[in-house]
Amino acid sequence: MSTVINKAKSQYRKALMLEAGILVFITLGFFLGFGYAGFSFLVGSLASFIAHCVFVYWVFFRNSAKDLTKMTAFYRGEGIKWLVTILWIVACFKWIPNLNFVLFFVGYFIALLLNNLIPFVLSKRTH
């Protein structure tokens, strides 16, 4: 396996751990500030975070003979990421009573921002 792929795998491990810690910290703040409505922030952030974890696993940590190139794995991973996100959001809207939609999407967009920002910052920090 190439050095670049190994470096990316290591970087994404760190990024996912850091993002999980940041989201837990922010979620605790929302629980303290908004009570049960903080749960809406949690499930919103998980909609983005879990889908991103699935994508990272699919692209970097899964070995399959079907994926002849990394680009094939990337595109399949993106498709699965969107599917997981859509299913999570539909399930939350359908089965969680009293969901605060504003906090849900605040959590979703903060996690989405962190999905992109943390790996970028870590890559700049290592150079």
Give the predicted TM-score (pTM) of the model. Answer: 0.88
The whole-number pLDDT of residue 68 equals 62
Please write the tens of the pLDDT for every residue from 25-47: 999 999 999 898 899 999 999 99
124: its two tokens: 């700049």
117, pLDDT greater than 70 = yes
Mean pLDDT confidence for 112-119: 94
Would you tell me how many other CB atoms lie within 10 Å of the CB of residue 84?
18
Residue of higher predicted confidence among 9 and 86: 86
Please write the tens of the pLDDT for every residue from 51-100: 999 999 988 888 765 656 778 888 989 999 999 999 999 999 999 999 99
Residue of higher predicted confidence among 127 and 113: 113
φ/ψ of residue 64, rounded to 5: -140, 140
Would you tell me how many other CB atoms lie within 10 Å of the CB of residue 70?
13
Distances (CA, A) of 111 to 82, 118, 122: 15, 10, 16
**Side-chain half-sphere CA neighbours of 25 within 13 A:** 7
Question: What is the C-alpha to C-alpha distance for residues 24 and 26, in angstroms, rounded to an integer?
Answer: 6
